[in-house]
Structure 1
Amino acid sequence: MRLNQVIVSLLETDMYKFSMGQAIYHQFSDYKTTWSFKCRNEDVHFTDEMVDEIKEQIKAYCSLRFTEEELEYLNNVKWIKGSYIDFLRLWQPRFEDFEITSDAECGLAIETKGTWLNTSMYEIPTLAIVNEVYFRMQYSYDELFESFKKRLDDKVNKLFSGEYNLGSFSEFGLRRRLSSEAQELAIQKLSGVKYPASAFVGTSNVYLAKKFGLTPVGTMAHEWIMCVGQGNHKHNPAYSNWYALDAWVREYGVLNGIALTDAITTDCFLKDFQLTYATLFSGVRHDSGDPYEWGDKMIEHYKSLGIDHRGKTLLFSDSLDFERADKLNSYFKDRAKVAFGIGTYIANDTDVPALNIVMKTTACNGMDVAKISDTTGKGMCKNPEYINYLQRCIDWRMQYGR
């Protein structure tokens, strides 16, 4: 490797990989998935040297194992069960599950295939590696890091001055961070202090949460709804949310309950988010579409069910910066518990644009799966015919079904 090792611990992933991972282990251990990398930036190109470095970094990641200290840390999370800890004690990433080539328009193609238990865990470390390799090898990293530090200091100063009133916010930037060094510095500067109108409550990066004594934050991602709802070929995919919510409640009851609404559109989600689930889940997460319209819609839905919306959490996590979060908090703060997961703006705000890269599930158990979000262009599926089928199922249910 030309660079220092990017991922140094198997805890260096987002918390929702463990919450989903435990439920996968207990209920869907035989599911197999394919994941595909995509760079949405039209002006980005990965050189052959970058691709070679990414391969070496992923090989190094695959050599890691959980330590007993790390497992003990996870064992103290109240919803993690001993059976899952025992599985993690034996678990290891497999480089054989990866196919990494330069055969893509952007110069980098990555695909992983294998059990969902394995491939789910690869997404976040892979994206973190791709980001750090790209920025260190494409630019003068030291200059980028200086611009990052200046912007970070400006953010912290505005929090101290009370210019921003964010209420509760967490850091969600691991997958798109400038570097491990940058993310650690951001969390170090944001944590352990009191702001007049904001509270930094945690990070999705479990490794850094452990290091700084913070709360590791995260529940479910789109893969959960896509694979649980569409991976069983007997399921009508328009009911994906029902299958996903049902499996989650079987695993966690009332614990660990923030539901993601937009995997197959929020309107379809609300068909299944009726009294039982709306009561059991402590709140919902926004990840696409107009956040004000979404929040108003969720509050009205809680009202229609006779549920006190002021006790429910609205977690916003879509392309946020402090200014957007401040405005959203001002709009919703008296009507719900408002929280924010802020990623790229904290972990990769420099003088050059951040990468817009994703790694998504594209097949489960040999069949296409897809996300149809509330924003055009945020979905990802290799088969347009499946997208058409899924959309027709959703449209029929919205017009005629329950």
Structure 2
Amino acid sequence: MMIPTIDIATRVYNHKWKIDPIVRSLIDTDFYKLLMCQSVLRNRPDVTVTFSLINRTKSIRLADLIDEGELREQLDHVRDLSLSRGESTWLRGNTFYGKRQMFRPDFMEFLEGLRLPPYHLERRDGQYELTFEGRWPEVMLWEIPALAVIMELRSRAVLKDLGRFELQVLYARAMTRIWEKIEALRPLGPDLKIADFGTRRRHSFLWQDWCVQALIEGLGERFTGTSNCLIAMRRDIEAIGTNAHELPMVYAALADSDEALRQAPYKVLADWHEEHEGNLRIILPDTYGTPGFLSGAPDWLAGWTGIRVDSGDPVAMTEYAIDWWTSRGEDPTQKRVIFSDGLDVAQIAALFRRFHGRVKVSFGWGTLLTNDFRGLVPGDGLAPFSLVCKAVAANGRPTVKLSDNPTKATGPANLIAHYKRVFGVGDQQQSTVIV
């Protein structure tokens, strides 16, 4: 079904229309959240988890920008959402990654009956403290809509005083920027594989949808799909995603010994392998440091399809992975490497040219696809910033993420130090987190 292009500027000018709630559907979320939720429902359904909003860019005082009443209205709207019959039919009957019935009947029954649990919201020192606590399979689905709501309310706050023509010009300039990026990617050739990973920190739903349409037309088969389930369904394209740091963070927090802690990231992937019967075999190795993860990995993981590089020096981490595959008797040219850390055109081009032919190269293009309005309003008030919503506790125990970039580390300082000892993480190169 062909859906007409929306006049975004007019919709933004009239953004109080009820036709434009920020989150339109329970499947206005990333595909990996549903895949992980199914695994959690099967393997750890009774774990209690706390998620918390974390604004890494402290200079942006969200509570000074975003009206608390409007924020609560949007969050309450999300809690009223439920799966529609058409959405359920799509999830039950569609083919994902070549597999029919990716989602089990028991998971679909859970999802069809789900309403997201309550939230807790407070203002503190110019920021919002937004937390969600409850059964892991339920609260984990708050992450993406919570981020989308905050990001779009920030966009609306910045744009609220602009006139209709100012908005038309703003979006015309932003559209031109995206199209110029697409034109810059075309010379990389037909082997380029790029997907939209921009749901979590998008400018708005309508803008993400426009960016996806631009990629469909501008890149053709080089565009492999979107992480956003609702856009994938509406635009009849592939839904893209596997798993994220949340799984090893929670499994690790539940470990009762240092040895169990060391094995937690591999236990996650053993459960994942069993859940998906050999499909979706992409390793995310950086939660507690890529070098240590790969050096200690069981042999069966070397046979998986590939890895996702999401922090640290992407060149160094990919070279490390190539050496690891070679040492395990695997052919790196048959392995896929998905880059997904703060990408924009120049880095995509440089990584593609370096590794094309040595591995199968793919890109998950996120914030700088769906939220690049840098320099387009006075004061640069629409510049992207680093906002995350992380699992911070499991069964009352704090979670920890180390990452290959220590700037991204989360958790209590004493536990970060303990995890570094357990996982043998030495000196790391610190780099600025843009998004």
> TM-score, structure 2 length as denominator?
0.85
- Aligned pairs, how many? 390
Q: Deviations over 1:51-72 (max 9, x none)?
A: 3212110100110100121112
What is the letter of the counterpart of residue 128 of structure 1? A
**Is it true that 1:388 corresponds to 2:417 in the alignment?**
yes
Q: Deviations over 1:27-53 (max 9, x none)?
A: 110011111111122321122752321
Q: How does 1:51-90 map to 2 (within 5 A)?
A: 51-75=68-92, 76=94, 77=96, 78=99, 79-90=102-113
Q: Deviations over 1:193-244 (max 9, x none)?
A: 556xx71101100110111111111111100111123324356323221111
Q: How does 1:137-216 map to 2 (within 5 A)?
A: 137-139=157-159, 142=167, 144-160=170-186, 162=187, 167-192=192-217, 194=219, 199-216=222-239
Conserved 8 A contact 1:165-1:326: no
Aligned residue among 351, 356, 359 for 2:389: 359
Per mean C-alpha deviation after superposition, the further-off stretch among 308-317 and 141-150 is 141-150
SS at match of 1:363: strand
Conserved 8 A contact 2:252-2:399: no
Change (3 A) 1:289 1:159: closer
In structure 2, the residue matched to 1:36 is 52
Q: Deviations over 1:255-294 (max 9, x none)?
A: 1111101000002211343321221x21100011111111
Aligned residue among 123, 126, 134 for 1:114: 134
Provide the C-alpha distance between the structure 1 equivalents of 2:313 and 2:349, rounded to a whole number of angstroms.
16
Change (3 A) 1:395 1:7: same
SS at match of 2:312: coil
In structure 1, the residue matched to 2:404 is 374
Provide the C-alpha distance between the structure 2 equivalents of 1:264 and 1:163, rounded to a whole number of angstroms.
33
Provide the C-alpha distance between the structure 1 equivalents of 2:407 and 2:190, rounded to a whole number of angstroms.
31
SS at match of 1:191: helix
Conserved 8 A contact 1:34-1:364: yes
Aligned residue among 244, 252, 256 for 2:268: 244
Provide the C-alpha distance between the structure 1 equivalents of 2:297 and 2:103, rounded to a whole number of angstroms.
25
What is the letter of the counterpart of residue 365 of structure 1? N
Provide the C-alpha distance between the structure 2 equivalents of 1:349 and 1:144, rounded to a whole number of angstroms.
12
Provide the C-alpha distance between the structure 2 equivalents of 1:132 and 1:165, rounded to a whole number of angstroms.
34
What is the letter of the counterpart of residue 269 of structure 1? F
Q: How far off is 1:132 after superposition?
A: 0.3
Conserved 8 A contact 1:145-1:182: no
Please list every run of 5 or more consecutive structure 2 residues that lacks an aligned counterpart in the other structure.
1-14, 427-435
SS at match of 1:285: strand
Provide the C-alpha distance between the structure 2 equivalents of 1:66 and 1:80, rounded to a whole number of angstroms.
14
Provide the C-alpha distance between the structure 2 equivalents of 1:237 and 1:303, rounded to a whole number of angstroms.
27
Provide the C-alpha distance between the structure 1 equivalents of 2:321 and 2:367, rounded to a whole number of angstroms.
26
Provide the C-alpha distance between the structure 2 equivalents of 1:233 and 1:57, rounded to a whole number of angstroms.
39
Conserved 8 A contact 2:31-2:239: yes
Conserved 8 A contact 2:120-2:130: yes
Provide the C-alpha distance between the structure 2 equivalents of 1:163 and 1:250, rounded to a whole number of angstroms.
37
Q: How does 1:93-104 map to 2 (within 5 A)?
A: 93-94=116-117, 96=118, 98-103=119-124
What RMSD in Å do the two structures reach over aligned CA positions? 2.2
What is the letter of the counterpart of residue 378 of structure 1? K
SS at match of 2:390: strand
Conserved 8 A contact 2:147-2:387: yes
Conserved 8 A contact 1:48-1:102: no
Per mean C-alpha deviation after superposition, the further-off stretch among 116-125 and 185-194 is 185-194
In structure 2, the residue matched to 1:321 is 344
Change (3 A) 1:377 1:144: farther
Please list every run of 5 or more consecutive structure 1 residues that lacks an aligned counterpart in the other structure.
398-402
In structure 1, the residue matched to 2:324 is 301
Provide the C-alpha distance between the structure 2 equivalents of 1:193 and 1:290, rounded to a whole number of angstroms.
29
Conserved 8 A contact 1:241-1:272: no
> Displaced runs of 4+ in structure 1, greater than 6 A?
163-166
In structure 1, the residue matched to 2:302 is 278
Provide the C-alpha distance between the structure 2 equivalents of 1:166 and 1:43, rounded to a whole number of angstroms.
40
Q: How far off is 1:139 after superposition?
A: 3.4
SS at match of 1:156: helix
Change (3 A) 1:163 1:309: closer
Percent of pairs with identical residues: 27
Aligned residue among 41, 49, 63 for 1:25: 41
Q: Deviations over 1:105-128 (max 9, x none)?
A: 342111111111111100011001
**Is it true that 1:126 corresponds to 2:146 in the alignment?**
yes
Change (3 A) 1:137 1:297: same
Conserved 8 A contact 1:264-1:371: yes
Conserved 8 A contact 2:292-2:425: no
